[in-house]
């Protein structure tokens, strides 16, 4: 069985920057209230003529260049999204054609904000068995198209964006060491979309605080390691209080956790890879570091991964 790791990363976060102050004009809310409860200061709304597949494509280009992999050498494309351009065809098929990845299979995954973790766990199985060598995983969302901008409970939370990684075989001491995927469908109606996104914030908060921390600890233990071995945490960027709870379970100092929620808000399946790119650029994740990634979302679903960075 081969070890599967991340070869390269990319992201796309471009559009209109919307600060908390702008919501004060239309909603019964204010900048201090939003910051205190969520940690969000601003978010990016994609331009109207930009679709989920466009953002995914631009993130993919950057990841392929960073990994030094050609599109025609890809074996599989996995796109995690709950906001596809169309019910079908899939975003992944649109990307496959646009990239010119003529050898690649393509499929979308729907696991909401945990989708990226589901994607890398799925890719790792293809790589470990030798079925595939080069796999592109993208998390991409245009959540603002499904957000009721008159709802003070959800309008301030979401942004748009895409993040991508290329995975392939790595040395035996690197790559994905352990993962956990889970679901609790009893809480399915706590986050749902009818006409717009609806959320039972209180119940989601309680679930996320408990599950994010438990999953972090679980994947570290599955890897045969302990909390003191963790070098960096990349959590789903939904709410700073939930993120802090996960960090505290791992007993990590604040500087060892990725925090991009203030700049981009909650971008669902793209939040973890977007944050990953940010912290790599900041030099906070280095070769050989043990990185824990964890996410949760509608379903209710969750996913976590422990990964030794490098090739």
* Below-50 pLDDT ranges, the chain: none
User: Among the three residues 110, 136, 170, which one is the final residue of a domain in this structure?
Assistant: 170
So what's the pLDDT on residue 172? 94
So what's the pLDDT on residue 250? 98
Same domain, 165 and 296: no
Same domain, 146 and 260: no
Same domain, 239 and 124: no
Same domain, 193 and 279: yes
User: Among the three residues 143, 170, 197, which one is the final residue of a domain in this structure?
Assistant: 170
E runs forming strands in the chain: 3-12, 16-19, 42-45, 76-80, 105-109, 135-142, 160-170, 175-183, 191-193, 197-199, 232-235, 290-297, 301-308
Give me the number of domains the chain comprises: 2
Same domain, 296 and 200: yes
Same domain, 216 and 272: yes
Q: CATH number of the domain that 132 lies in?
A: 3.40.47.10
Same domain, 196 and 85: no
Could you write out the three-class secondary structure of 140-189? EEEHHHHCCCCCCCCCCCECEEEEEEEEEEECCCCEEEEEEEEECHHHHH
Same domain, 134 and 189: no
Same domain, 86 and 193: no
Give the span between the Cα atoms of 69 and 261, in whole angstroms.
30
Range of the domain at 132: 3-170
Same domain, 103 and 221: no
Same domain, 28 and 164: yes
So what's the pLDDT on residue 208? 96
User: Among the three residues 145, 170, 195, which one is the final residue of a domain in this structure?
Assistant: 170
Same domain, 214 and 166: no
Q: Which residues are catalytic?
A: 113, 236, 266
pLDDT tens per residue across span 163-172: 999 999 999 9
């Amino acid at each position: 069985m081969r070890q599967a790791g991340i070869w390269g990363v990319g992201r796309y976060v471009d559009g209109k920057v919307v600060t908390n102050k702008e919501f004060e004009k239309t909603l019964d809310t204010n900048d201090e209230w939003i910051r205190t409860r969520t940690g969000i200061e601003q978010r990016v709304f994609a331009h109207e003529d930009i679709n989920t597949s466009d953002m995914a494509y631009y993130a993919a280009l950057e990841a392929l260049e960073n990994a030094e992999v050609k599109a025609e050498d890809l074996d599989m494309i996995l796109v995690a999204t709950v906001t596809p351009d169309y019910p079908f065809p899939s975003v992944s098929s649109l990307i496959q054609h646009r990239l010119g990845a003529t050898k690649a299979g393509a499929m979308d995954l729907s696991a909401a904000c945990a989708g990226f973790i589901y994607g890398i766990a799925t890719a790792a199985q293809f790589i470990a068995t030798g079925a595939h060598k080069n796999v592109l995983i993208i998390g991409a969302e245009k959540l603002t198209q499904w957000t009721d901008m008159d709802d003070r409970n959800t309008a301030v939370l979401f942004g748009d964006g895409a993040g991508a990684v290329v995975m392939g075989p790595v040395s035996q001491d690197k790559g994905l060491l352990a993962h956990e995927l889970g679901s609790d469908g009893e809480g399915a109606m706590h986050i749902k979309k009818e006409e717009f996104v609806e959320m039972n914030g209180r119940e989601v908060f309680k679930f996320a605080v408990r599950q994010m921390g438990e999953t972090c600890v679980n994947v570290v233990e599955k890897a045969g390691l302990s909390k003191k071995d963790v070098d960096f945490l990349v959590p789903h960027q939904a709410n700073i209080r939930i993120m802090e709870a996960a960090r505290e379970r791992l007993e990590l100092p604040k500087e060892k956790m990725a925090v991009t929620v203030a700049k981009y808000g909650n971008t669902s399946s793209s939040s973890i890879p977007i944050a990953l790119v940010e912290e790599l650029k900041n030099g906070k994740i280095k070769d050989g570091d043990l990185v824990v990634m964890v996410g949760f979302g509608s379903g209710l679903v969750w996913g976590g991964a422990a990964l030794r960075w490098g090739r």
